[in-house]
Each structure stands twice: as C-alpha cells, then as structure tokens.
Amino acid sequence: MAPTYDAIVIGGGHNGLVAAAYLARSGARTLVLEGRHKTGGAATTESPWPEAPEFSVTRLSYVMSLLPPTIINDLELAKHGYKIYPMGPYYQAFGEGGSIKLYADDAKRNYESVSKWSAKDADAMPKWDAWLAGLADVLGPLLLTVPPVLGSHKPKDLASTLRLAWRHRGLDIRTIADVTRLMTMSIADLLDDWFESPQVKGALAVNGVIGTWAGPYEPGTAYVMAHHSIGDVGDGHLGNWGFQEGGMGAVSSAIESAAREHGAEIRVNAPVARVLIEGRKAVGVVLANGDEIRAKVVVSTLHPKTAFLEQVGREHLPDDFVTDIEHWKSRSGVVKINLALAELPDFSADPGTQLQEHHTGSVEMAPTMEYIERAFLDARDGKPAVRPFSDGVIPTAFDKTLSPEGTHIMSLFTQWVPADWNEEPHTGELEAYADRMIDCYNELAPNFKSSILHRDIVGPYQMEHEYGLIGGNIFHGELSLEQLFHMRPAPGFADYRTPIAGLYYASSATHAGGGVCGIPGMQAAKAAITDKKASRRRIAGRR
Ligand SMILES: Cc1cc2nc3c(=O)[nH]c(=O)nc-3n(C[C@H](O)[C@H](O)[C@H](O)COP(=O)(O)OP(=O)(O)OC[C@H]3O[C@@H](n4cnc5c(N)ncnc54)[C@H](O)[C@@H]3O)c2cc1C
C-alpha cells in the first residue's frame, strides 16, 4: 500500500514551504518533497568553497522586500528566526569622479545627493516618489488579489471580475492613465519624462531590468520597476529592501520551522518524477526512485514546463493550456557572482575600507541608462556583456553570521549573458565575464580585485540544472506584460488551480511571483482548503 497524506507539496522552495505551513495549519497531514539535499530553492544560504567553510553566501536571491505582513504574522516567522536588517542607500560611484546615493526614506538627504548632479532632478525627486507611491497603492493590493478568469461567462467568474472592477471604482482618469503608462512604457522613456541627469536615470533604471530579458528601452520595463517598488500589498506596509540575518536561506528555514511546528513532514533528496493522475484527478506522486505516495491534494511549485509538460504530461491537459505553457517565456541572462572579501571596497569617490554608509545598501554598477542598455544589446547579439551591469550588496555590513570577523561577503547580481546560455555550462566564458565584472568595480574601488579571497559564479546552466530554474529565469518566467496577473501562468488558470482536479499550482510563475513573497504558496494552499470545505458542504448537502 502506498503511504497516504492529505496533501503533498512538490518542491521545498520558499513557496512550497509556505503552502505546506498553511495546509498543515489547517489540519491537513502534509508532506513536502524536495529534490535537492536541502530546502529553500532560490532562497538559499550555502557555503560554496569547501576550502573555506567559514564563509556562507546567499547564493541566488539576496534581498527581501515583498513578503507580506499577513504571512509573517500568520506563520509567526519572527519566532522562527525571520529577522531583517533594513538596507542602506542605493550607491553608485562614477569613473569621472563623484558618486550618488539615493535614500528610500530620507527626502532631505536624497535632495542633497541628487542636487549635486541636477537641481532640476532634485526638485523632481519628491514628486516622483509621491507619484510612484500613489501608483503602488493601486498596484500593491492587486498582488494579494486572486486574478479573475477574464472572458469567462460563468456567473462565479463574472462576479469576481465585477468585484475587482467595483473595488477600483474610485480611480480617476489621471490615475488610470498613469497606470497605463506604467504598464506599457519603457523605464527609459518614463524616466526621460521626469529627469535630465544620466546619473539619476541610471540609478532609477536598475529596478526596471532586474531579472528581465529586456534592456531599459524595452516597453514593459517601467512595470518591472514598479513590481520592485511596491510598498504595501493591502495588508500593511512592506519592509523596505533588507537583508535577512543568515542570508536568504534563513527565510526558508524560518518558514520550514513554522511548517514543521504545524505538523508538516519535509523530505529532502526526494525528487518527484511525475504526478499520479487517475480519472482526470491528481491522486499523488511517483518519486524518481519509483516510490508512489498518495494524497487528495497535490501542490506543485516547480517551473511550469517541468510541472505540467513533464510531470503531468500533455496527454492529461487541454491542448490550449499545453500551447500556453509551451510558449511560456523564461529567459533572463542573469549571472550571480558571490565573493568573499578580505576588506570592504575602497571607492576613490568615497575613500576608506572602514564600514561606511555606502557599503550598507546596493553597491551598483549601472552608471547610466546607456551602460545598462549596452550590456543588454551585447547579450541579445549573442555575446556576454563586455561591461556587465550589477546590483551588488554586502550583507555582512550588518550580518556577522556569514563570514569571519573583519571579512565580508559581496553578492553581485549581474546581467547579461545570452539567453541560450542555459543550454551549455560556458564555464570558461563565465570566468572571463566575472573577471570583466570585477574589473569594472576595480576601476572605481582600486583595492577590489586584490581583496577577493574566493569567488563563486552561478550562470543560467547551473540555475537550470541544479535549481530547476528553466532557462535561467530567476522568477520561473519573465515578468513581461503578457505573463502577468490573469495570464500567469496561463489564461483561465491564474487562480492557483490547474486543469487537473486536486492539483494546485504555487510557483513564482503564478500571480504575485516572482520574488521571495510567499504569496503563490499561501494562495494555492487557501484554494485547496476552500475547495475541500466546499466539497464537504456538497457531500453534506447530498445526505
Ligand atoms: C540569482 C537570483 C537572484 C534573485 N534575487 C532575488 C531577490 O534578491 N529578492 C527576491 O525577492 N527574489 C529574488 N529572486 C527570485 C526568487 O528567489 C524566486 O522567485 C523564488 O525564490 C522562487 O521560489 P519558489 O518557491 O517559487 O521556487 P524555487 O525556489 O525554485 O523552489 C522550487 C523547489 O523545487 C525543487 N525541485 C525542482 N525539481 C524538483 C523535483 N523534480 N522534485 C522535487 N523538488 C524539485 C527545487 O530544488 C526547489 O527547491 C532571485 C532569484 C535568483 C535565481
């Protein structure tokens, strides 16, 4: 007899763990099956250098912001070790001299910093912040909204579409126009409307291209910037970007601990081969070793191509759904470079290796919009960027648990290499790419190269083969307009349900993903719990 659970969650990334915690909390006997030797998925802390186990890096994702207070409170994550250090300012030093700092919550210092480059931009900055905050107030709550099935004529679907429209009845013509601009414009065009100095525009463009297979001149990148700038999803203000103590793996561990406390069982080294389907219903899974485990509810958190095309199988799915998943775009050209440093970067613009404010936030390599665009154009032409763009952070400015006293960890989130580098390891070329990236920083901080004790390079091939991030996309699928909201992961199935009864879907490829936000995990668990209650009511009604 195959062992039986109420619910099986495939994948122990943070969304799988959130789903398991909510399911277990509802009383379901829940099992998480994780293929790797550890949980966390892309939210993981690891020690990549066997010769230096005293260093730990937050190997893929590196900063928190989007986890809503509801999840933090429901799962009592603080009790389980969730502890965030708010990040310092955005920092960019320039080859021609000088630097810029942007503060998330200090308008006076922002003004002083920006006015060094443009008085007009310094005046525009508070208006820009207010404009963005206004739009975030509209878009934020949508992240916690289950997308309606647009176009469906079923009364239930029409009702949820109308409810959504009613909720937005207060919007005026200008706000709708601004949302339309945000959803359709490039970040470059949007910033050109607001600012004049290349330094300010470069700084503000970064969030428009993070994890995206698109340069700053591509339509839709304005929305990507907004996705990273939302401060409130409707249930309280989200933190500004911050570092989890112990790295992003500690976020996963906190959620795992909450799930275990509610009774969830978590197995690692347990790769799932396929979902068991009988009579158009999911009834369990088959592990790669052939073992069968049964459950009434199965929640998958894997990339959609793996979850549906490989593990469910085309033969069980409607043709148009299969086509939608086949067409799912999942590129990004991201390379993560993790460094152990003997000392902090000594920037010529702001000298000193002692800890200073500019080490505590993002330490960027994105001096202008054109610089970022050039890096993308190189990759689109089939070559790795000659001068890559980087969103760098030094979490050890606060967190002393990751490296020995006096040393530091620096995490460089860099772009771009060609979109097809997920197909081959490109090991030598990645080493050369990392050398160039390091040289770029070294031009601004001449001690940088010599301060590097160890380096770890994770390219798209490793992201796909070791972490299941197909195509190397960091969000299980691009945040492009045709893959958002009711389209994520496929029209008609954005409510965390799937064409297979009993199979729910909770990966970052659903609405509100990507990012370490846990919303897909929570929503899929809630959908399963709601359906179970409804089915109980139906059965009771028949008696
Ligand atoms: C380089 C990089 C940087 C990023 N930076 C940030 C950031 O700073 N902030 C942020 O908010 N987000 C960031 N992200 C995005 C964020 O990390 C992801 O969107 C999120 O972690 C995905 O979570 P998930 O649970 O949906 O999927 P995953 O984390 O991918 O979890 C899926 C799990 O399933 C497991 N699995 C795969 N196949 C099988 C199988 N056959 N059987 C069983 N288990 C299987 C995997 O091992 C994995 O543990 C980054 C991502 C990357 C890659």
DSSP per position, 16-42:
HHHHHHHHHHTT--EEEE-SSSSSBTT
| Residue of 9, 302, 473, 507 with the most ligand 1 atoms within 8 Å of its CB, for mutation | 302
Q: Look over the chain and give the mean of its residue pLDDT values, rounded to a whole number.
A: 94
pLDDT at residue 232 is higher than 70:
no
For residue 421, give the DSSP letter. G
Residue with tokens 């004790």: 453
**451: nearest Cα among 347, 350, 335, 349:** 347
Q: Reduced to 3 states, what is the DSSP secondary structure of residue 414?
A: strand
The DSSP-derived string for 50-111 is TT-TT--EE-S---B----HHHHHHTTGGGGT--EEEP--EEEE-TTS-EEEE-SS-HHHHH
Whole-number Å distance, alpha carbon 431 to ligand 1 midpoint, is 24
Provide the β-strand partners of residue 4.
294
Q: Measure the CA–CA gap between 325 and 476, rounded to whole angstroms.
A: 12
Rounded to whole angstroms, how far apart are CA atoms 476 and 479?
9
Give me the residue label for tokens 């160039």: 436
Contact 40, 248 (CB under 8 A): yes
* Mean pLDDT of all residues in 275-293: 97
Lowest mean pLDDT among 227-241, 303-317, 405-419: 227-241
Separation of 474 CA from ligand 1 center, angstroms? 7
Instruction: Give Cα separations from 178 to 139, 175, 185, 214, 234 (angstroms).
Output: 11, 5, 10, 22, 20
DSSP string computed for 235-289? SSBPPPSEEETT-HHHHHHHHHHHHHHTT-EEESS--EEEEEEETTEEEEEEETT
Give the residue from 312, 248, 295 showing the smallest Cα distance to 467.
248
Pairing between β-strand 30-33 and β-strand 265-267 as defined by DSSP bridges: parallel
State whether residue 509 is helix, strand or coil: coil
Please give the C-alpha separations between residue 496 and each of 492, 514, 534, in angstroms, as whole numbers: 10, 14, 16
Tell me which residue has tokens 């030093």: 93
User: Distance between CA atoms of 397 and 394, rounded to whole angstroms?
Assistant: 6
Instruction: Report the range of poorest mean pLDDT among 71-80, 130-139, 405-414, 449-458.
Output: 130-139
> If you measure from the C-alpha of residue 32 to the centroid of ligand 1, how many angstroms do you get, rounded to a whole number?
15
Q: How far apart are the first and last CA of the chain?
A: 30
- DSSP symbol at 306: I
Q: Taking 80 as the threshold, does the pLDDT of residue 234 lie above it?
A: no
Residue ranges around ligand 1 (CB below 6 Å)? 10-16, 33-36, 41-43, 60-63, 66, 271-272, 301-302, 334, 336, 413, 463, 467-469, 474-476, 507-508, 513-516
Check whether 1 has a pLDDT greater than 80.
no
Ligand 1, atom nearest to 63 Cα = 8
Q: What is the pLDDT of residue 136?
A: 83
User: Is the model's pLDDT at 231 over the cut of 80?
Assistant: no
> Which residue, judged by its Cα, is nearest atom 15 of ligand 1?
515
What pLDDT shows up at residue 240?
A: 66
Average pLDDT over residues 81-92: 94
Lowest mean pLDDT among 194-208, 233-247, 272-286: 233-247
Task: Please determine, for residue 237, whether its predicted confidence score (pLDDT) is greater than 60.
Answer: no
CA of 42 to the centre of ligand 1 (A): 3
> Which residue's alpha carbon is at the smallest distance from atom 4 of ligand 1?
61
Distance 122 CA to ligand 1 centre (A): 38
Task: Look at residue 540 in the predicted model and tell me its pLDDT.
Answer: 72
* Ligand 1, atom 10, residue with closest C-alpha: 515
Cα–Cα separations (whole angstroms), residue 421 to 25, 47, 355, 425, 458: 41, 24, 37, 7, 12
CA pair distance 501, 298, nearest whole angstrom:
9
Report the pLDDT value the prediction gives residue 259, as an integer from 0 to 100.
Answer: 98
Q: Residues near 364 by Cβ (< 8 Å), separated by ≥ 6?
A: 90, 91, 92, 203, 206, 390, 391, 392
Closest approach atom of ligand 1 to CA 33:
43
Kindly give the number of the ligand 1 atom that is closest to the alpha carbon of 516.
11
Pick from 296, 304, 302, 305: nearest CA to 277: 296
pLDDT-above-90 percentage for the chain: 85
Specify the pLDDT at position 138: 85
**CB 506, CB 520: distance < 8 Å:** yes
pLDDT value of residue 311: 98
Angle at 149 between CA 143 and CA 154, to 5 degrees: 145
Name the residue at shortest CA distance from atom 49 of ligand 1: 41
The pLDDT of 349-376, averaged and rounded, is 97
Distance CA 249, CA 278 (A): 36
Spatial neighbors of 358 by CB under 8 A, at least 6 apart, are: 88, 89, 91, 99, 101, 347, 350
Tokens coding 426? 């490109």
The whole-angstrom separation of Cα 251 and Cα 47 is 16
Quote the DSSP letter at residue 46: E
For every residue of 111-152, DSSP letters joined together read HHHHHTT-HHHHHHHHHHHHHHHHHHHHHHHHHTSPPP-TT-
- Given a cut of 70, is residue 133 above it in pLDDT? yes
Ligand 1 atom 30, closest CA: 41
pTM, full prediction: 0.96
How far is it, in rounded angstroms, from Cα 114 to Cα 116?
Answer: 5
What pLDDT shows up at residue 536? 78
Encoding tokens for residue 308? Answer: 């549906």
Give the pLDDT of residue 104.
83
Q: What number does the ligand 1 atom closest to the CA of 520 have?
A: 26
Percent of the chain with pLDDT over 70: 97
Of 131-140, 240-249, 276-285, least confident by mean pLDDT is 131-140
More confident residue, 225 or 489: 489
Min mean pLDDT across 191-200, 209-218, 228-237, 430-439 is at: 228-237
Q: What DSSP character marks residue 346?
A: -
Query: What residues contact 156, with CB distance under 8 A and at least 6 apart?
Result: none
| CA-wise closest residue to 104 among 240, 195, 244 | 240
Res 489 pLDDT > 80: yes
Per-residue pLDDT for 543 more than 70? no
Indicate whether 542 pLDDT > 70. no
457: pLDDT strictly greater than 90: yes
Q: Residue 261 has what pLDDT?
A: 98
- Cα-to-centroid distance, 496 and ligand 1 (Å): 17
Give φ, ψ of 511 to 5 degrees: -60, 140
Distance 300 CA to ligand 1 centre (A): 13
**pLDDT at residue 353 greater than cutoff 70:** yes
Closest CA to 249 of 454, 116, 58, 501: 58
What pLDDT band is residue 473 in, cutting at 50, 70 and 90? very high
